[in-house]
Structure 1
C-alpha cells in the first residue's frame, strides 16, 4: 500500500480506526525527512494491511501544533486508536520492520487495561 497524505480533516477517521496506523510527520525542506521517505514508502509496500500516513508539518501547522511536533521526521504508531510509539528521527528499514512486528504482537486487551489504569490513576480521587 502506498502512503497516504493526511490532513486535519482526515486525521481522526484514519487514526481512530481499527488496525495499525503509522504517521510520518515531515516537511519538504527537511534533509532527514527526504532520507527517510523512500524507506517509509518501501516498508509501506510490504504491509498492505497497515495504513502509512504522511503529514506535511508546513501544510498542517495546526495539527502539528496540537501534537507538539518539534523535530522532524517524527514517527508515530497507533493501533486501534491508541498511540503506542512516538519518536523523532529517521529509522533504518530494519528498525522500522522490527517496530511493526512488535506492534503487531501486542495484546491489545492488555494495552487497553493499562491505558484505563493510567487514566484512573491520573484522575483525582473522588472522596
Structure 2
C-alpha cells in the first residue's frame, strides 16, 4: 500500500479526502497542522504528502520549505492544496518547494493524476 500524508486542518476536507483516498487503495496518515506534518514526514515515511497551505502552528508554505531542506524528507513529493486560485499561486507553491499544486475544492480525478505522476517521478508504482 502506498502511504500518503494528508495535512489538512479542516475536518470536513480531511474526512472527505481521506475517505476517497482510502477507497482508491491508499494508506492515509493525517496531520492537522504543519508541525505535525514535519514530525509525521519522518516517522510515518510517506511516499507522498498532500499539503494544505493554510495551516495553524506552522503554515504549509513554511512546512514545505523545511521538508525540502532536510535530507531525510527532501525527496518526498509534496502536492500543495489551496483554495487560492489566483494568478501566481501555483508559482508560489512551487517556489516554496511543492512538486505540484492543486486547488480546492479537490477534483479527485485531477488530483489522482497528479499523485500518480509524482509517484512515477520518484519510482513508486501505485496500482489500486
User: TM-score scaled to structure 2, two decimals?
Assistant: 0.39
Looking at both structures, which has the greater relative contact order when contacts are Cα pairs under 8 Å and sequence separation is at least 6?
Answer: 1
Q: Work out which of the two has the higher radius of gyration on C-alpha atoms and give 1 or 2.
A: 1
User: TM-score scaled to structure 1, two decimals?
Assistant: 0.39
